[in-house]
Amino acid sequence: MNSFWLFNSKLEIIGDLERTGTAFDIVEGIFPPGTQSPVHIHSQYSETIYVVEGNLTVYIPGESKELKAGDTYFIPTNVPHCLINPSTDASCKALAVASTNGFSKLIRAVGLPVVEGEDSPAGQHDMALAMQIMAEVGDSIIAPPGSRP
């Protein structure tokens, strides 16, 4: 199983240590209209975002960057950030490369399996487990969705 729902986004692990033996994770994400991540930090890996379809806004302290299909954005370790699909009617598809790996561990442990034909997750995330795995991989949520760094 490589496709999971994580906090309202549909994620597919394309490459990681478990699947391909790589020292980085490649994850495809589909972000429904209006989806917002919480403000968070990755202390053990950087993140590079490549937008495949649609639009995505990246917020870091003092900056917001509007990305469209074909755009790339690099987020260094320890930089608070959040991602938002600003569209009210179109999903965004993007690739995230986490270097070194760790993001896929969170997805596999906490994500809810994608069920073919369903447009949303069935069930709730185990938030205690999410916080435990996030601590292990160096992730911290510092503000809820809707906040800005």
Per-residue pLDDT of the chain (149 residues; tens, 9 = 90+): 799 999 889 999 998 887 777 789 999 999 999 999 999 999 999 999 999 999 999 999 999 999 999 999 999 999 999 999 999 999 999 999 999 888 999 999 999 999 888 888 888 888 999 999 999 999 999 998 889 99
Q: What pTM, to 2 d.p., does this model score?
A: 0.91
Distant-in-sequence, close-in-space partners of 94: CB < 8 Å, separation ≥ 6: 28, 29, 31, 49, 50, 51, 52, 56, 67
- CATH 2.60.120.10 for domain 3-142, yes or no, is yes
The structural domains of the chain, with segments of one domain joined by +, span 3-142
Pairing, β 39-42 against β 139-143: antiparallel
